[in-house]
Amino acid sequence: MQFANTVLNTPPQETSHRAQPGMPPLDLSGRTTSFFEFWPMWLMYIPVVLQWVLLAIRYRSLSLPLIANPAISLSGMVGTSKSEIFEVAGDEARKWILPWMTYEVSDADVDTQTTDVLVALRSSGFDLPIVGKPELGCRGVGVKLLKSESELQDYLKSFPSGGGIQFQRLSDWHAEAGVFYVRHPGQDGGEITSIALKYMPYVVGDGVSTLAELVAQDPRAGELLHLYRNRHNDKWHEPVPEGEIFRLIFAASHSRGAVFRDANHLINEQLLKSLDRIFDDIPNINYGRLDVKFKDIESLQLGQDFEIIEINGGSAESINIWDRNAGLWDAITTLLRQYRTQFKLGHANRNQGYTTPGLLALYKAWRHESKLVKQYPQND
């Protein structure tokens, strides 16, 4: 079942308070965004940079955070492929990771490459529909739902030669969350520092209004027209059939228009024990955010029936800072605490014999990733 094609027997005016299956209702009463929610990212990170310099003086290293997760390159700060962290996982941890495979785009004929990918998918135990993601990149860039062979072919055709792609099985569950986990070296267990629920905005057709009109009528989406117009330009001025749900995004990225809600009240011992068991089998990964699909809230709290779709390393954020009710000071202090934690983790790992890479390696990885990102196809 694809949520994007589901028809709900609910009046259109009520749908803004609904959510994808398995999620609590989305309340859009009150303010729709925080005043800083869509500030330029560099502006939010000025305090982080200042703190980084001070901590570098204290710990006598500018690059300690780059060994917070010594199992992966640059701790997952930048230039780390999505699959690299999955490859570290042992058999037990992989039971929780949604099946995936990697593919590097070449200059070969696109028909040949499409066939190669389909054969490899079936050898890996899954098939279309799949999710295509650039191996390098963040914030949902280049992520697309591929339902047919022709969509797969178009995706490969639009990708830069030499670019890596992670293809992942499409989850049967629609509910999604970001769960932040930290474990200090030498400790038997870790802690969940934040949970945020991810809502995918959508509108419901009335058979008369165009997509542009329906989006404009939505309390939140109407303030973010620029995020949706280009993505749906071919359907923007067409009426949406009555009762049809039109999903505005697929990739649950805040910068692409997803709605995040703080859910720290869901943190509990049962979920933590499940994550501890998983990270017992992912050695030398101490810090990051797991993006998970799950059956329902009750299952997530029990630490059951969830699938990891991505593990984000050093550059990951506690995404509850993008909740509409988050305060600016709370958001900044959360970011500062995250990077203090990475310095502490790096310091502990340095004491265990790990050596820090130079900042030049960080710069080169950033340049390489930035160059590729500009060539990726538009995400869903």
Q: Encode pLDDT of 7-20 as tens digits.
A: 333 333 333 346 88
Regarding whether 366 and 307 lie in a shared domain, the answer is yes
Residue 352 domain flag: yes
pLDDT for 28:
80
Closest CA to 292 of 270, 275, 268: 275
Q: Give the model confidence (pLDDT) of 300-310 as tens digits.
A: 999 999 999 99
Q: Residue 103 pairs with which residues in a beta bridge?
A: 165
Regarding whether 186 and 210 lie in a shared domain, the answer is no
Task: Work out the number of other CB atoms within 10 angstroms of the CB of residue 244.
Answer: 18
pLDDT more than 70, % of the chain: 95
Regarding whether 286 and 264 lie in a shared domain, the answer is yes
Supply the range of the domain harboring residue 69.
41-198+259-373
Give dist(CA 51, CA 211) in Å, integer.
45
- The residues, ordered by sequence, that sit 6+ positions from 14 with a Cβ below 8 Å of its Cβ are none
- Long-range pairs for 54-62 at CB < 8 Å and ≥24 separation? 55/339, 55/340, 55/343, 59/343, 59/346, 59/347, 61/346, 61/350, 61/356, 62/359
Alpha-carbon distances of 15 from 27, 227, 247, rounded to whole Å:
10, 20, 12
Check: CB of residue 37 under 8 Å from CB of residue 322. Answer: yes
Label the pairing between strands 245-247 and 130-134: unpaired
Regarding whether 127 and 150 lie in a shared domain, the answer is yes
Domain boundary among 248, 279, 311: 248
pLDDT for 378:
75
Residue 350 domain flag: yes
CA 138 from centre of chain = 7
Residue 63 domain flag: yes
Regarding whether 71 and 130 lie in a shared domain, the answer is yes
- pLDDT, mean of residues 335-363: 96
Q: Give the model confidence (pLDDT) of 71-116 as tens digits.
A: 999 999 998 999 999 999 999 999 999 999 999 999 999 999 999 9
pLDDT for 18:
60
Q: Give the model confidence (pLDDT) of 123-165 as tens digits.
A: 999 999 999 999 988 777 889 999 999 999 999 999 888 999 9
The one-character DSSP state at 254 is G
Q: Give the model confidence (pLDDT) of 151-207 as tens digits.
A: 999 999 998 889 999 999 999 999 999 999 999 999 999 999 999 999 999 999 999
Total of domains in the chain: 2
Task: Work out the number of other CB atoms within 10 angstroms of the CB of residue 167.
Answer: 22
Regarding whether 339 and 296 lie in a shared domain, the answer is yes
3-state secondary structure of 159: coil
Regarding whether 191 and 87 lie in a shared domain, the answer is yes
Residue 379 domain flag: no
Burial class (CB in 10 A: 0-12, 13-18, 19+), 289: buried
Residue 169 domain flag: yes
- Mean pLDDT is highest, among 19-33, 279-293, 360-374, for 279-293
Regarding whether 210 and 113 lie in a shared domain, the answer is no
pLDDT for 8:
34
The one-character DSSP state at 99 is P
